[in-house]
């Protein structure tokens, strides 16, 4: 009991520590039915193929061979009331955002399948091996928040996926777990082949490089919509330890080190929506002045590359059999989100620009109202991605399992999660993480002969977050997209496990 007391004390400290932090990230917290239903407090009692994710050492406790699969269905339900305007000390000027209006992310039920097989083999004595496929990181949202003000060429509509993120990191993992001290100590290791797929759209507002009157309102900011699709491969390592000091107590410790993944693609699009000045300003085709008064859309295609720096994590969990039917578990995890620095895109192999832009225009120089000079091509191809500074964050999870009979298991749990994105200046609709998140979960499994079939559902509550206008460089353009952010997340998991 002494060890139990110490572990509980440690976890309690982590809980208190966590409460002082803010919330998030794009980690897929719930892998598998039991873990989902128990609020992911699963490190110390993972007893199915999902131990590959929570603690590979727990494989050693799996007595049967297993084949399992999950189908998770998630739904991000987010709301944003934008307040993105150009502001002076006393006035604000409309930007084209749907300000003061409740906007919703595009409705989508996300499916997230995963599965694995576990085999106990007579290797190194007896070792439990497993192969699993699951998504340790996943995020998906899509917003339409902007329409150019009257005066732009309305014939050139900006696509609906203005702020869109579809990030999937799939792990193909080989795991092994083995007993190292009889009924006391178990160790496990997982080797991950990671596949990352990214679809990213973003709307930025570029300073009009032309002098007055070309950059008079509302042409002062030129919308640039970028859309990138690509993928990359990488590796990761998972390791775990499971210690059973008594028959009723399990202590699990595990960690994950994913290595950087370079994501690249050859279909990055850069679209510029140029001002439409009446009568095309009276300028001749082929001049810069005409280009920036024509209301045309110029499109660029390029290869892109960005580095996905996934965060390492480590955690500790404790499970305790209160009775023969009831088990409680508590976990804590710390994730080094400071490793992640956003998506900084670098472009290459530009395929040229469509529309009214040709090589003769690209090499011409523009002098703006402050006498800064730049070439058209430099302006077009300027990298506009900005790094983010996320901070490490923690999570505390609590779960319970109750077996009323041999036919049925019931689960309940929840967690408190913290956000790495604590700087309001970095807040964009591409990642909506509004603060301390609280999750409430439950589920059940029927045990029918060799089959376990169940269902779990979870609800994650996000706090409302008001992002105020921040203009750190004093250019009159908000650094983030201010407004009132609200979010919830729902997930339902269907699961089966076949034992053989």
Partner 1 sequence: MFGKMIKFIALSLISISMIVLLSCEDRGTNVPAISSLDGGGPWPTADHIHSPELRWLLSNNIEQLPTWVYIPQVAAPPPLGVSRPVPLLILLAPQGANKFYFAQHGLQELLKEMIADGTIQPMVVACPSNDPTFGGFMYAGGYNFSHPVKVIDSITPPSGNNDAIFSKQLVKWINSLGFTLQGQQKTGIGGFGMGAYGAFRAALLSDAVYGSISVTDGPLDFDGDPGLGFGNGLIDLFDDALIEQGLLNDSTYVQNFDSSSAWPISNMFIGAAFAFSPEDTVLFEHNSSFLPPPVWKMDSTYGFDSLSPTHITGFNAPSGFRFDYLLPFDASGAVYSPIWDNYWLTENLKSLIDSSTNKLSGVNLWFATTTESKLNYYQQTQSWINTLKNPPYVYNVTEKKYLGVPGSPASGDQYVYDLLREMLIFHSNSFGN
127 versus 457: smaller Cβ distance to partner 1: 457
143 versus 340: smaller Cβ distance to partner 1: 143
Give the C-alpha separation, 426 to 287, whole Å.
Answer: 37
Task: State the minimum distance, in angstroms, from the CB of residue 421 to partner 1.
Answer: 23
Q: Which of 447, 488, 498, 499 binds partner 1 (CB under 8 A)?
A: 488
38-46, 148-156, 174-182, 188-196 -> range binding partner 1 (CB under 8 A): 148-156
Task: State the minimum distance, in angstroms, from the CB of residue 176 to partner 1.
Answer: 36
128-136, 230-238, 338-346, 473-481 -> range binding partner 1 (CB under 8 A): 473-481
DSSP codes joined into one string, 395-453 = EEEEEEEEEEETTEEEEEEEEEE--S---GGG--TTS---S-EEEEEEEEEEEETTEEE
Task: State the minimum distance, in angstroms, from the CB of residue 159 to partner 1.
Answer: 12
From the list 269, 340, 254, the residue with the least C-alpha distance to 304 is: 269
Cβ-based neighbours of 213, under 8 Å, separated by 6 or more: none
89-97, 324-332, 338-346, 425-433 -> range binding partner 1 (CB under 8 A): 89-97
100 binds partner 1, rule: CB under 8 A = no
From the list 349, 136, 399, the residue with the least C-alpha distance to 261 is: 136
What tokens were used for 92? 């604000």
Say if CB 254 and CB 57 are below 8 A apart: yes
- CA 253 and chain centroid, separation: 24
471 binds partner 1, rule: CB under 8 A = yes
1 versus 150: smaller Cβ distance to partner 1: 150
Say if CB 438 and CB 413 are below 8 A apart: no
Q: Which of 98, 131, 440, 498 binds partner 1 (CB under 8 A)?
A: 98
Query: For partner 1, what does the binding mask look like between residues 372 and 411, x meaning CB under 8 A?
Result: ---------------------------------x-xx---
Say if CB 171 and CB 134 are below 8 A apart: yes
Q: Which residues, 213 to 272, sit near partner 1 by CB under 8 A?
A: 213, 215-218, 220
Task: State the minimum distance, in angstroms, from the CB of residue 251 to partner 1.
Answer: 32
What tokens were used for 256? 């994950």
Q: Residue 287 — φ and ψ, nearest 5°?
A: -100, 155
Task: State the minimum distance, in angstroms, from the CB of residue 220 to partner 1.
Answer: 6
Determine how β-strand 373-375 pairs with β-strand 465-467. unpaired
DSSP assignment letter at 377: H
The string over 359-381, giving b where at least 16 C-beta atoms fall within 10 Å of a residue's C-beta and e elsewhere, is eebbeeebebeeeeeeebbebbb
Task: State the minimum distance, in angstroms, from the CB of residue 104 to partner 1.
Answer: 5
459 binds partner 1, rule: CB under 8 A = yes
107 binds partner 1, rule: CB under 8 A = yes
Q: Which of 67, 71, 106, 117 binds partner 1 (CB under 8 A)?
A: 106
Say if CB 254 and CB 314 are below 8 A apart: yes
9 binds partner 1, rule: CB under 8 A = no
User: Which residue has tokens 């500074």?
Assistant: 389
8-16, 336-344, 414-422, 488-496 -> range binding partner 1 (CB under 8 A): 488-496
87 versus 299: smaller Cβ distance to partner 1: 87
What tokens were used for 498? 């076949």
444 binds partner 1, rule: CB under 8 A = yes
Give the C-alpha separation, 413 to 440, whole Å.
Answer: 6
279 versus 359: smaller Cβ distance to partner 1: 279
Say if CB 294 and CB 287 are below 8 A apart: no
Query: For partner 1, what does the binding mask look like between residues 177 and 216, x meaning CB under 8 A?
Result: -----------------------------------xx-xx
306 binds partner 1, rule: CB under 8 A = no
Query: For partner 1, what does the binding mask look like between residues 265 and 304, x meaning CB under 8 A?
Result: -----------xxxx-xx----------x-----------
Task: State the minimum distance, in angstroms, from the CB of residue 46 to partner 1.
Answer: 24
3-state SS assignment for residue 39: coil
Give the C-alpha separation, 51 to 45, whole Å.
Answer: 9
Task: State the minimum distance, in angstroms, from the CB of residue 324 to partner 1.
Answer: 18
Sign of the CA dihedral with 316 first, then 322, 327, and 330 last: negative
Task: State the minimum distance, in angstroms, from the CB of residue 90 to partner 1.
Answer: 5
Cβ-based neighbours of 359, under 8 Å, separated by 6 or more: none
Binding-residue total with partner 1 (CB under 8 A)? 57
Give the C-alpha separation, 275 to 214, whole Å.
Answer: 8
Give residues in contact with partner 1 (CB under 8 A): 75, 77, 86-91, 93-94, 98, 101-107, 109, 143-144, 147, 149-152, 154, 160, 212-213, 215-218, 220, 276-279, 281-282, 293, 405, 407-408, 444, 446, 455, 457, 459, 471, 474-476, 488, 490, 492
């Amino acid at each position: 009991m002494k060890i139990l007391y110490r572990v509980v004390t440690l976890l309690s400290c982590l809980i208190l520590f966590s409460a002082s932090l803010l919330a998030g990230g794009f980690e897929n917290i719930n892998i598998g039915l039991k873990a989902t239903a128990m609020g992911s407090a699963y490190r110390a009692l993972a007893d199915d193929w999902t131990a590959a994710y929570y603690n590979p050492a727990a494989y050693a406790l799996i007595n049967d061979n297993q084949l399992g699969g999950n189908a998770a269905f998630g739904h991000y339900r987010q709301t944003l009331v934008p307040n993105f305007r150009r502001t002076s000390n006393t006035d604000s000027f409309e930007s084209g955002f749907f300000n003061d209006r409740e906007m919703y992310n595009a409705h989508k039920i996300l499916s997230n399948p995963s599965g694995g097989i576990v085999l106990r083999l007579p290797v190194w004595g007896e070792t439990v091996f497993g192969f699993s496929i699951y998504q340790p990181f996943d995020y998906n949202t899509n917003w339409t928040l902007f329409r150019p003000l009257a005066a732009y060429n309305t014939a050139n509509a900006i696509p609906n996926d203005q702020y869109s993120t579809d990030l999937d990191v799939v792990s193909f993992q080989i795991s092994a777990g083995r007993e190292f001290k009889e009924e006391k100590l178990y160790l496990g290791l997982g080797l991950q082949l990671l596949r990352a797929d990214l679809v990213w759209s973003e709307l930025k507002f570029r300073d009009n490089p032309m002098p007055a009157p070309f950059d008079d309102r509302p042409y002062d900011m030129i919308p640039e919509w970028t859309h990138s699709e690509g993928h990359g491969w990488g590796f990761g390592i998972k390791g775990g330890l499971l210690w059973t000091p008594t028959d009723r107590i399990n202590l699990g410790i595990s960690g994950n080190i994913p290595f950087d993944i370079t994501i690249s693609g050859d279909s990055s699009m850069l679209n510029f929506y140029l001002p439409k000045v009446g009568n095309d300003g009276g300028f001749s085709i082929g001049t810069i002045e005409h280009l920036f008064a024509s209301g045309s859309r110029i499109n660029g295609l390029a290869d892109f590359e960005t580095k996905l720096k996934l965060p390492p994590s480590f955690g500790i969990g404790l499970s305790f059999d209160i009775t023969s039917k009831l088990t409680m578990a508590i976990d804590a995890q710390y994730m080094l989100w400071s490793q992640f620095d956003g998506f900084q895109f670098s472009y290459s192999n530009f395929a040229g620009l469509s529309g009214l832009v040709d090589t003769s225009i690209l090499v011409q120089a523009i002098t703006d109202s402050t006498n800064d000079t730049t070439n058209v091509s430099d302006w077009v191809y300027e990298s506009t991605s900005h790094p983010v500074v996320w901070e490490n964050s923690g999570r505390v999870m609590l779960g319970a399992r109750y077996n009323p009979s041999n036919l049925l298991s019931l689960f309940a749990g929840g967690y408190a999660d913290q956000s790495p994105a604590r700087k309001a200046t970095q807040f964009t609709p591409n990642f909506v993480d509004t603060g301390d998140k609280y999750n409430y979960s439950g589920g059940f499994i029927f045990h029918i002969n060799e089959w376990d079939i169940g269902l779990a559902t979870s609800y994650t509550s996000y706090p409302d977050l008001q992002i105020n206008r921040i203009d750190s460089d004093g250019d009159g353009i908000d650094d983030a997209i201010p407004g009132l952010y609200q979010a919830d997340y729902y997930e339902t998991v269907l699961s089966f496990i076949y034992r053989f």
